[in-house]
Amino acid sequence: MNVMLNALVISATVLGSGMALPQARQLARTRRTDGVSPTWVGVSMALNGWWLAYGFAAPVWALVPVSMISIGLYASMAVLFVRTGGRTDRRGLLIGAVGLGMLPLPFLVIGGWELAGLAVGLCYGLQLLPAVVAVLRTRALAGVSAATWLIAWTESMLWLVYGLGVTDPALIVAGTVGVVMSTVIVVRLAVTGHRPLDAFTRATSPARWRKAQASLS
């Protein structure tokens, strides 16, 4: 059982570390933010800070490298929004990072890290909600990386199973919410003709991918 749980947490750690990478690379390469929510980027930075702190406090050491790498990737996306976006994008980043990202704080003050960890797990849904709303509001989704959300689905499922195995409520809640939210985004990409399951083959055929994106724009 311990071997299986260790394998799960290692797999989830590796996937979690790379989840935001495809989205960060796509934004950096295309400079197109269509369908990408700045509020999601802001709240993701903040909540990964909370997961980092929870990883030290719980302790769940596997969360530490995942959170550190994720903070860096979301920060790079935030910089791009600041440089290329308008006032609305900057406001969205601020709302996400400060307005939504600080919601676990009163739970920490009231009940310590046990209650704060559960709040952070619940806030994972809040973290992903702006991304879900953004993709549901438009069919112009050229800026959205399907690879990121397929990785997010897999990572969330692994954390859910691991959380059940070690009876960690924060990880169980976060994993469940992550699976649901990621599923909505992947299905939305499929419905709008963006073929999310082709995400991992695009790198081998960039010309074909650019042609497909142009036809959808």
63 contacts 120 by C-beta, under 8 angstroms: no
Q: Which of 7, 52, 1, 8 is nearest to 159 (CA)?
A: 8
What's the first-to-final CA gap in the chain, in angstroms?
49
Q: For residue 206, what pLDDT is reported?
A: 47
Q: Which domain holds residue 33?
A: 2-216
Give the mean model confidence (pLDDT) for residues 11-18.
76
Report whether pLDDT(195) > 70: yes
Report whether pLDDT(6) > 80: no
Say which residue the tokens 């933010």 belong to: 33
Report whether pLDDT(45) > 90: yes
106 contacts 52 by C-beta, under 8 angstroms: no
154 contacts 61 by C-beta, under 8 angstroms: no
Q: Which of 178, 138, 184, 181 is nearest to 160 (CA)?
A: 178
Number of domains present in the structure of the chain: 1
Q: Which of 152, 130, 17 is nearest to 72 (CA)?
A: 17
Dihedral, CA atoms, 115, 43, 173, 182, nearest 10 degrees? 180
116 contacts 173 by C-beta, under 8 angstroms: no
Q: pLDDT, tens digit, for every residue of 119-152? A: 887 787 777 888 899 899 888 888 888 888 999 8
| DSSP 8-state assignment for residue 52 | H
What span, in angstroms and rounded, lies between the C-alpha atoms of 110 and 116?
9
Segment holding 20, helix H or strand E: none
What span, in angstroms and rounded, lies between the C-alpha atoms of 71 and 43?
10
In sequence order, which ranges of 85-145 are alpha helices (DSSP H)? Answer: 87-94, 104-136
| CB contact set of 179 (below 8 Å; sequence gap of 6+) | 153, 156, 157, 160
Q: pLDDT, tens digit, for every residue of 165-183? A: 888 887 888 889 889 999 9
Report whether pLDDT(205) > 70: no
Please report the sign of the dihedral spanned by the C-alpha atoms of residue 23, residue 24, residue 25, residue 28. Answer: positive
Report whether pLDDT(23) > 70: yes
Q: What is the biggest distance separating any 2 CA atoms in the chain, rounded to whole angstroms?
A: 55
Q: For residue 182, what pLDDT is reported?
A: 93
